[in-house]
Amino acid sequence: MANLDAPDLVLQPVSVTRKMSASLPRLRDLAQSKGLKIHHLGAGYPHPEVTDPRGFLEHQAAYFAHLENQEGLNDPTVLPEYLRESFSYTDTLGPVTTRQTFANVYGRDWGVNIDIDKLIPTVGATGGINLMCSLAERPGKPVAYITDAPTYAGFTARVSLCQHATIFSVDMDSEGALPEQFRAQIRAARQQGYFVPFYYTVPDGHNPAGFSFSQRRREALLEVAQEEGILIVEDAPYLYINFADPADRPLPFFAMAPEQTVHLFTGSKIGFPGPRVGFLYSQAELAIADGEVVPLAEMALTEASSDMLFQNPSALRGFEALLHDADFNEITSMWVLAENKLGVYRENRKILLRVFDEMLAPHPDHFSWTIPEAGFFSVFTFLQQGITTDDQLIEQLVAEHGVVAIPMYDFYPQDAKQRNPQAGLDQLRISFCFSESTGDARRRDMQEAVRAFCTAALQINGLA
């Protein structure tokens, strides 16, 4: 007998990435019982080599001491203002100094004049996704979100929490989502009576698709969004985890059209995931009830204030420290921070692509893979019929080769699977961001991991 009758609640299925991490200890034991080393090509976590917080904590302490000095307090019994603020109830918008510093640095990088009153602190990009979905779902009417096929698992997971929300997905080619299908899906959803608030995408270092949208494709998608009157929610965790030449980097949507875009910034990849720092920024305006036109940021702020009241002010102040150099001057650009991380990811990516080239390029009829210009992932495709990248193949990879990779099929929204029941069943997401080792051992482990994967791929194809 239950303590509560809740017949309308539905237990949501667990995502494939969570399923993988839950089954990892069992698979690890299985592999180790056969004397196999575990090769991490599955996890999408920032590398431990670039997320050791000790240097940051020292810098943060020095920055806080600097703030205290600036306050000019000579009486040690008086509580410094920055410290009081860090541990108190505060505004939903968070400390003004953090927003101002972020607006200066980020605005300079992307040529956008960021209005700090429209910069809403979020609990990482995840909090930004949640905020936008809550806002759209609030009226209680059927909502359809447009997104890519495949799309980020955290987005589909959030959408699945709302029983009157659904996804209309858009297939992709090597340049990004298909503009005409994008338009057709918006129209089809509207025709079926859905409110279509936005298109959610990850144009730079797409997770899980493993590539960045071309500049030309971004322009075409933006044109459709403008003509059809929907917003683009741009999730940008990998904007700075970027391997392209500066001259070849496409522009984020918010730099092209801040009034059509909701930009989700996160500190998770450029800084640390733990403090959960993020910002939602948009210059969009919404036509709401009674013909009123209001800034989206104002709606998001009201939503945020009842949802989380305020983001951790101490974490925001810590992020502010990160935006200052050793002499406590505001950094000129976020690319300075990115460089601290990029060394490791550049090397790992290079190893991945080199070993793929060495071992698999001689079989172009059997294998292909994306060349990631940003982010943590490459998508690997088995081109021969008869190979299915289902849970059984994933188990086989671990049990026989010690290789952990993520199957792609679960990243395809339901409607994409209806269009093509085989969607993603020939693909794996290979990540090059994570291993347990550092330095030379990391390089060695990465090379061994990719070699083990390639050996497995060759064997599966009968080419070994």
Interaction of residue 234 with ligand PLP, rule CB under 6 A: no
What the block records as the tokens of 139 is 């009226």
Q: List, in order, residues 6 or more apart from 406 with CB less than 8 Å away.
A: 16, 17, 20, 42, 208, 394, 428, 429, 431
Answer whether 99's CB lies under 8 Å from 319's CB.
no
Exactly one of 48, 107, 273, 295 binds ligand PLP (CB under 6 A); that residue is 273
Interaction of residue 130 with ligand PLP, rule CB under 6 A: no
CA 142 from centre of chain: 26
- Single out the residue of 342, 376, 434, 375 nearest to residue 204, CA to CA: 375
Interaction of residue 278 with ligand PLP, rule CB under 6 A: yes
Interaction of residue 197 with ligand PLP, rule CB under 6 A: no
Interaction of residue 406 with ligand PLP, rule CB under 6 A: no
User: In this chain, which stretch among 124-132, 209-217, 313-321, 327-335 interacts with ligand PLP, using CB under 6 A?
Assistant: 124-132
Interaction of residue 42 with ligand PLP, rule CB under 6 A: no
The pattern of x and - marking residues 323 through 362 that bind ligand PLP according to CB under 6 A reads: ----------------------------------------
What the block records as the tokens of 54 is 């000790």
Query: Degrees (nearest 5) of the Cα angle 335, 340, 342?
Result: 75
Find the shortest distance in angstroms from Cβ 155 to ligand PLP: 7
Which CB sits closer to ligand PLP, 142 or 154?
154
Interaction of residue 271 with ligand PLP, rule CB under 6 A: no
Answer whether 279's CB lies under 8 Å from 323's CB.
no
Which CB sits closer to ligand PLP, 202 or 351?
202
Interaction of residue 241 with ligand PLP, rule CB under 6 A: no
User: In this chain, which stretch among 123-131, 298-306, 309-317, 413-421 interacts with ligand PLP, using CB under 6 A?
Assistant: 123-131
Which CB sits closer to ligand PLP, 268 or 461?
268
Find the shortest distance in angstroms from Cβ 202 to ligand PLP: 4
What is the full DSSP assignment across 174-202? TTEE-HHHHHHHHHHHHHTT-B--EEEE-
Which CB sits closer to ligand PLP, 210 or 237?
237
- Residue 40's H or E segment, with its range, is strand 39-40
What the block records as the tokens of 208 is 């899980």
- Single out the residue of 379, 377, 446 nearest to residue 237, CA to CA: 377
Exactly one of 92, 126, 130, 427 binds ligand PLP (CB under 6 A); that residue is 126
Spatial distance between the Cα atoms of 265 and 277, rounded to a whole number of angstroms: 9
Find the shortest distance in angstroms from Cβ 182 to ligand PLP: 19
Answer whether 179's CB lies under 8 Å from 217's CB.
yes
Interaction of residue 232 with ligand PLP, rule CB under 6 A: no
> Hey, which bits of 182-302 come out as E strands?
198-201, 231-235, 261-266, 277-281, 285-287, 293-295
Interaction of residue 125 with ligand PLP, rule CB under 6 A: yes
Interaction of residue 44 with ligand PLP, rule CB under 6 A: yes
Cβ-proximal residue to ligand PLP, closest one: 124
Interaction of residue 98 with ligand PLP, rule CB under 6 A: no
Spatial distance between the Cα atoms of 56 and 246, rounded to a whole number of angstroms: 27
Q: How many residues contact ligand PLP, by CB under 6 A?
A: 14
Give the interface with ligand PLP as residue ranges (CB under 6 A).
44, 124-126, 152, 154, 202, 207, 235, 237, 266, 268, 273, 278
